[in-house]
Amino acid sequence: MEPEINIIKTVKRNFIKAYGMVPAMYQTQLREAIIKECGWSGLSIFHHKRKGKSKIFQLEIPVIEKHFAEYNIDAWTGEYLS
């Protein structure tokens, strides 16, 4: 039996603490980059996912991690990477 490749796994995570660590002058830039690359329809989707009210799809995880890494922040723990 072949695996079903159309099934997307989701995870319950949030990045609320990490987003708060990004300097305010860069938060809009970060938010817009994540929304665009993940294909989210708007600001409300971003904030629901940020707060853990909406699940994050497996394919969105590396996008979020990449953009937070640009600020040296772990997206899931809200700690500095180095």
pLDDT in tens, the chain (82 residues): 455 555 567 788 899 999 999 999 999 999 999 999 999 999 999 999 999 999 999 999 999 999 999 999 999 999 999 8
For residue 69, the model assigns a pLDDT of: 97
Q: How far apart are CA 53 and CA 50, in angstroms?
A: 8
How much is the pLDDT for 7? Answer: 58
pTM for the whole structure = 0.86
The pLDDT value recorded for residue 30 is 98
User: How high is the pLDDT of residue 11?
Assistant: 82
